[in-house]
Amino acid sequence: MTAAAPDDDGCWLSAAEQARQVKAGARTARALVDGYLARIAADDRDPRRLGAYLHVDADGARARADAIDAAIARGDDPGPLAGVPVALKDVLVTEGVPTTASSKILAGWVPPYDGTAVARLRAAGAIVLGKTSCDEFAMGSANEHAATGPVRNPWDRDRVPGGSSGGSAAAVAAGLCGAALGTDTGGSIRQPASFCGVVGLKPTYGRVSRYGAIAYASSLDQIGPMARTVEDVALLTEIIAGVDPHDATSIDAPAPALRAALDGGARGLRVGLPEEYFAAGVDPEVAAAVERALAILRDAGAETVPVSLPHTRYALAAYYVIAPAEASSNLSRYDGVRFGRRGGDRQASLLDMYRHSRGDGFGAEVKRRIMLGTFALRSGYYDAYYKKAQQVRALIARDFTRAFDDVDVLAAPVAPTAAWRLGAMAHPIDEYRADVLTLACNLAGLPGLSVPCGFTGGGLPVGLQLLGRPLDEATLVRAARVVERGAAIDRRPA
């Protein structure tokens, strides 16, 4: 697909380098946008197209690029992302650009405002290139629950890109944007980043405002960057982080100086290896790639020490009570009146109208989550399920607090396997199980990162997961940069 495209169009550069070149006058924002539009169009003509984008805002992107180029010609500084074309997961509300959460129920919705993270990217000079596919309402682990169909993995088009931010991961991995935003409720930035060989950072819960992120599970959801380099995720996180009056859970902490932390190296770093994350069930080729990353960290002067997070085995069950419970509440707003397309032509009663709107508008996985969550919250069951899950959540968070008394960062695989074949998940529970190594991070509200560290024998990317103390994204990018340098991975799929 990209083989025919000229290589000098700048589309494979990092976002940071694109901004540097645009500001220096070495490249125009307009040329970058046109380069991506040509690559996206070429992919669309491919019978095995990736399908990463749901909507490309070609006119908006060109106009914005011209405005940035004009500002630079005047001697103005458009900001640290000057001219960088970005892709946004379609759960991010974007003014004037269709936003659907990959759901039929939101088809045709054009939001009247930008979410905070999107507004901050734009204010930093970024150009919104388009909206990327994801699992419907971010529920899933393979991007196979999008109403518009699956996305393919650029490294092997018979395989999934991971999910739920699969479109953003595929777009970054295939050189179809400068960088992207995703959201991570239970792994949806880290796991697709791992499957597609890109860097993904899920910030501390509250680090980035959720205003304008279509809610899935509000106590877990977090927006974060996906990019081709560690420097880029550091840069994007600095830009989107910060307190916001529109989100009461956003944290009023000083902006993280992540780029300043990048080159801190690993000397003296204590890296904890949670034994529960290395237990049976991790594919040996994934484990081998992770081991190589740990060797890189040790060679750079880090010390790896075994730690235990004993409540890890309850994370999957707790998450799949809490997340659907919150989803069932959040998604009640799509009733065909206040939000969501009205379905059906026979509307004998109000109930009938609800039934058609929600019945036609939601896909099977979303309905399953709403039913699971509604069940867990029923009076009489609340204590047995939701309350119990919240108690487990507290124990999981305590495990991490104790581990971080002794270590600076935790390292583990992101997922038990590399990307699986399209359609391979026979049962929903199998897909839920694939999240087993990413969920605890969200339950505890910690920052987590995936950095490419190698490949399976079959050429599928594998990521190393790093988990940090609350608000300590700096140590994550510092360690990730060491792995990035040491692994020296060629990031371009054939």
The catalytic residues are 89, 164, 188
Residue 132 sits in the site that holds ligand GLN (CB under 6 A): no
- Which residues fall within 8 angstroms of residue 380, CB to CB, at 6 or more apart? none
Calpha distance 404→117 (Å, rounded): 29
Closest CA to 450 of 484, 474, 422, 419: 484
Min dist CB 226 to ligand GLN, Å, is: 13
Q: 186-215: which residues touch ligand GLN (CB under 6 A)?
A: 186-188
Helix axes 29-45, 58-73, angle to 10 degrees: 160
In the complex with ligand GLN, which residue's Cβ is closer, 40 or 323? 323
Least distance CB 138 / ligand GLN (angstroms): 4
Pairing, β 85-89 against β 179-183: parallel
Residue 413 near residue 277, CB atoms below 8 Å: yes
In whole angstroms, how close is the CB of 92 to ligand GLN at the nearest point?
13
Q: Which residues of 461-490 are buried (b: 16+ CB within 10 A; e: fewer)?
A: bbbbbbbbbbbbbbbbbbbbbbbbebbebe
At residue 41, the 3 state secondary structure works out as: helix
Distances (CA, A) of 364 to 135, 145, 214, 428: 11, 8, 19, 11
Asked if 141 touches ligand GLN (CB under 6 A), the answer is yes
- Comparing CB distances to ligand GLN, the nearer of 50 and 139 is 139
> Between 22 and 327, whose beta carbon lies closer to ligand GLN?
327
102 touches ligand GLN by CB under 6 A: no
Beta carbon nearer to ligand GLN, 399 or 435:
435
Residues in 350-369 that interact with ligand GLN by CB under 6 A: none
> According to CB under 6 A, which one of 139, 294, 322, 482 is a site residue for ligand GLN?
139
Q: Are strands 179-183 and 199-202 parallel, antiparallel or unpaired?
A: unpaired
For residue 339 the two structure tokens come to 């939000």
CB of 319 to ligand GLN, least distance (A): 7
**Contact stretch for ligand GLN (CB under 6 A) within 146-154, 182-190, 399-407, 447-455:** 182-190
Range 287-326, binding ligand GLN (CB under 6 A) = 323
Tokens of 6: 């000229």
Examine residue 184 and tell whether it contacts ligand GLN (CB under 6 A).
Answer: yes
- Phi, psi dihedrals of residue 221, rounded to the nearest 5°: -60, 140
Tell the smallest beta-carbon distance from residue 272 to ligand GLN (Å): 23
**How far apart are CB 110 and ligand GLN at their closest, in Å?**
23
Are the CB atoms for 132 and 167 separated by under 8 Å? yes
Residue position matching structure tokens 């500084």: 77
Of 184-192, 255-263, 280-288, 411-419, the segment contacting ligand GLN by CB under 6 A is 184-192
Q: Which residues neighbour 296 within 8 Å (Cβ) at sequence distance 6 or greater?
A: 453, 482, 483, 486, 487
Interacting residue with ligand GLN among 21, 100, 143, 164 (CB under 6 A): 164
**Stretch of 139-147, 233-241, 336-344, 444-452 lying at the interface with ligand GLN (CB under 6 A):** 139-147
Which parts of 416-445 interact with ligand GLN (CB under 6 A)? Answer: 435
Q: Which amino acid is at 51?
A: G
Residues contributing to the site for ligand GLN (CB under 6 A): 138-141, 164, 183-188, 216, 323, 435
